[in-house]
């Protein structure tokens, strides 16, 4: 019995999801013995650079994922003329790149659940403080990203999701519902705190549940040990179905 | 570029490695962007039951793992005539099952690094306290496992590793070097605390390093973003080698 795969495709916020208290770890734990969560996060990448990976990453081995999250935009939204301008991607190209991602995944598997996640909101003060901690007095005095522009990329992401009929999570809006999101949910104005990771995890699980991928719907790949008759262990493994009510 | 796989095959101590502070999570994080860590842990399973999974789990998709940990024995060592006797496997069969695991993995791939991990030591008081917390006054007054017998299974595991020329971690011995291992490293007399997880993680990394699988030796699957020329991003992806010094 092949265990299904869930792929998390994105930038550093996805790469770091496998770290302590990361939303990827929480997902992997939730789907333990039911699905493998594979992290394909590439720190610093924008959608233009991620395009080079697309056909290498999907399809993945012999099986296509049952679900993929696509979580870009934080780097695409870096401003021209500021310190991270090399990562900037114009908003129309960002949208077109997302469309290409979705189109390719749908070609890999028409039944794959695709979830576009918008970039989180951005806290400019947090970015400046981070730059200062890294570069001291030489640090930039103007943030390389703004919340306003990041919001435009978030909206663009939602537009593409609606246009193409795939799931989305508007993280930019969702996070700003929390008082003190600037430091409560973001560690350096951009990346996630433990609480920020929890928000992403909950939102992803919510969408997966709506999409029919609740853990209850995905059986264990092999039986729970309590289902094994110690006198006749082979019986538990002859059944093709694993009881999902464990 | 296909990312290599590391598989963790075992019982509940492996299944729980994907949980908070788990040794599997630490491994996955250490090998981020270099290798996928796949958890194949089945709580309650002994080697006899795990034998039914072997040919389903390996080979895995189209690629065989570069390394596999085999971590059983805690359930095989459950005593006859006590509350967990259904999980008991005689020590000679335990050894023969481990040999079959190793032989099959070697057939899948002669270059796969195979690491046998012995069961951790067992704290009988911890087991009795756990039983009491679960069943109250009805709880058993004699532990279903003993440290002495678990030690015999640990020795048997080391013997098989030496006999077959594969790596091993004598966790049973290693953990008992720590003062207060009974509660410092074990949460319920059998499963791992955060510190217990750290011991396993460190021991596995140590063996992987010796086996030539240090993270420095495994390249990123795709370039670090700092290696991408924003004017000519395609160049970074035309090179077949990813710089591992990042």
Convert the pLDDT of each residue in B84-125 to its tens digit. Answer: 999 999 999 999 999 999 999 999 999 999 999 999 999 999
Query: Could you tell me which residues come within 8 angstroms of residue A77 by beta carbon, excluding any fewer than 6 positions away?
Result: A88, A119, A122, A145, A149, A150, A152, A153
Question: Smallest Cβ distance to B233: which of A29, A49, A222?
Answer: A49
Q: Which helix (H) or strand (E) holds A69?
A: strand A67-71
Q: Report the C-alpha gap between A59 and A104 in whole angstroms.
A: 9
Q: Which helix (H) or strand (E) holds A171?
A: helix A171-176
**Residue B241 pLDDT more than 60?**
no
pLDDT at A238: 86
Q: Is residue A239 part of a domain?
A: no
**Residue A1 pLDDT more than 60?**
no
Q: What is the pLDDT of residues A27-52, one digit of tens each?
A: 999 999 999 999 999 999 999 999 99
Q: Is residue B241 part of a domain?
A: no
Q: Is residue B230 part of a domain?
A: no
Structure token pair of residue A165: 């009929």
Question: Using N-to-C axis directions, what is the helix angle for A23-30 and A194-210, rounded to 10°?
Answer: 40
Residue among B171, B169, B157 nearest B122 (CA):
B171
Query: Could you tell me which residues come within 8 angstroms of residue B96 by beta carbon, excluding any fewer than 6 positions away?
Result: none
Calculate how close chain B gets to A238, using CA atoms only, in Å. 10
Supply the mean pLDDT for chain A.
93
**CA B216 distance to own-chain centroid:** 22
pLDDT at A61: 63
In this structure, is the dihedral angle defined by the CA atoms of residues A8, A13, A18 and A21, taken in order, positive or negative? negative
Question: Smallest Cβ distance to A52: which of B21, B39, B233?
Answer: B233
Q: Report the C-alpha gap between A184 and A136 in whole angstroms.
A: 24
According to DSSP, residue A226 is labeled: G
**Residue B75 pLDDT more than 70?**
yes
Residue among A50, A180, A231, A129 nearest B233 (CA):
A50
C-alpha torsion A99→A103→A109→A110, nearest 10: 90
Residue B147 and residue B121 in contact, taking contact as beta carbons nearer than 8 Å: yes
Calculate how close chain A gets to B145, using CA atoms only, in Å. 18
Confidence of residue B244 (pLDDT cuts 50, 70, 90): very low
Q: What is the pLDDT of residues A205-243, one digit of tens each?
A: 999 999 999 999 999 999 999 999 999 999 999 865 444
Compare A152 and B82 and report the one with higher pLDDT: A152
Residue B110 and residue B156 in contact, taking contact as beta carbons nearer than 8 Å: no
* B240 phi, psi to nearest 5 deg: -85, -15
Q: What is the pLDDT of residues B126-155, one digit of tens each?
A: 999 998 999 998 888 888 999 999 999 999
Confidence of residue A19 (pLDDT cuts 50, 70, 90): very high
Residue A178 and residue A213 in contact, taking contact as beta carbons nearer than 8 Å: no
**Residue B61 pLDDT more than 90?**
no
Calculate how close chain B gets to A155, using CA atoms only, in Å. 25
Confidence of residue A141 (pLDDT cuts 50, 70, 90): confident
pLDDT at A140: 85
Q: Is residue A70 part of a domain?
A: yes
Average the pLDDT over B18-43 and give the result: 96
Q: Is residue A113 part of a domain?
A: yes
Question: What CATH number is given to the structural domain containing B128?
Answer: 3.40.50.1110
pLDDT at A246: 31
Question: Smallest Cβ distance to B32: which of A18, A49, A62?
Answer: A18
Query: Could you tell me which residues come within 8 angstroms of residue B197 by beta carbon, excluding any fewer than 6 positions away?
Result: B17, B21, B22, B23, B26
Q: Which domain holds residue A190?
A: 5-213
Q: What is the pLDDT of residues A163-205, one digit of tens each?
A: 999 999 999 999 999 999 999 999 999 999 999 999 999 999 9
Structural domains counted in chain A: 1
Instruction: Residue A155: count other Cβ atoms within 10 Å of its Cβ.
Output: 15
What share of chain A in percent tops pLDDT 90?
86
**Residue A244 pLDDT more than 50?**
no
Provide, as residue numbers in chain B, all residues whose Cβ is less than 8 Å from the Cβ of A48.
Answer: 233
Q: Is residue A84 part of a domain?
A: yes
pLDDT at B141: 86
A12 is catalytic: yes
- Start-to-end C-alpha separation, chain B: 18
**CA A123 distance to own-chain centroid:** 20
pLDDT at B245: 34
Residue in A closest to B238 by C-alpha = A52
Confidence of residue A59 (pLDDT cuts 50, 70, 90): confident
Supply the mean pLDDT for chain B.
93
Confidence of residue B63 (pLDDT cuts 50, 70, 90): confident
Instruction: Residue A133: count other Cβ atoms within 10 Å of its Cβ.
Output: 10
- Chain A, chain B: beta-carbon pairs less than 8 Å apart: 90
Confidence of residue B242 (pLDDT cuts 50, 70, 90): very low
Residue A124 and residue A189 in contact, taking contact as beta carbons nearer than 8 Å: yes
Q: Is residue A68 part of a domain?
A: yes
Q: What is the pLDDT of residues B172-229, one digit of tens each?
A: 999 999 999 999 999 999 999 999 999 999 999 999 999 999 999 999 999 999 999 9
Q: Which residues of B touch A (CB under 8 A)?
A: 1-2, 15, 18-21, 25, 28-29, 32-33, 36, 38-39, 41-45, 48-49, 52-53, 56, 61-63, 86-87, 222, 224-226, 228, 230, 233-234, 236-237
**Residue B240 pLDDT more than 90?**
no
In this structure, is the dihedral angle defined by the CA atoms of residues B155, B159, B162 and B168, taken in order, positive or negative? negative
Q: Is residue A155 part of a domain?
A: yes
């Amino acid at each position: 019995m092949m265990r299904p795969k869930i792929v998390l495709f994105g930038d550093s916020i996805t790469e770091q999801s496998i770290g302590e208290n990361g939303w990827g770890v929480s997902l992997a734990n939730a789907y333990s013995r039911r699905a493998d969560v594979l992290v394909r996060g590439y720190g610093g990448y924008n959608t233009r650079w991620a395009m080079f990976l697309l056909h290498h990453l999907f399809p993945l081995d012999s099986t296509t994922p049952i679900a993929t999250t696509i979580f870009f935009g934080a780097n695409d939204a870096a401003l021209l003329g500021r310190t991270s301008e090399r990562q900037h991607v114009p908003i129309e190209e960002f949208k077109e790149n997302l469309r290409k991602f979705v189109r390719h995944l749908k070609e890999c598997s028409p039944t794959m659940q695709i979830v576009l996640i918008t970039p989180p909101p951005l806290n400019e003060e947090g970015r400046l403080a981070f730059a200062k901690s890294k570069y001291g007095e030489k640090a930039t005095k103007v943030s390389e990203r703004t919340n306003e522009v990041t919001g435009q990329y978030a909206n663009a992401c939602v537009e593409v999701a609606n246009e193409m009929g795939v799931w989305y999570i508007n993280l930019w809006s969702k996070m700003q519902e929390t008082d003190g999101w600037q430091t409560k949910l973001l560690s350096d104005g951009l990346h996630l705190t433990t609480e920020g990771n929890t928000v992403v995890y909950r939102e992803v699980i919510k969408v997966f549940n709506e999409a029919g991928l609740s853990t209850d719907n995905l059986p264990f790949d092999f039986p729970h040990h309590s289902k094994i008759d110690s006198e006749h262990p082979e019986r538990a493994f002859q059944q093709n179905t694993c009881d999902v009510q464990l």
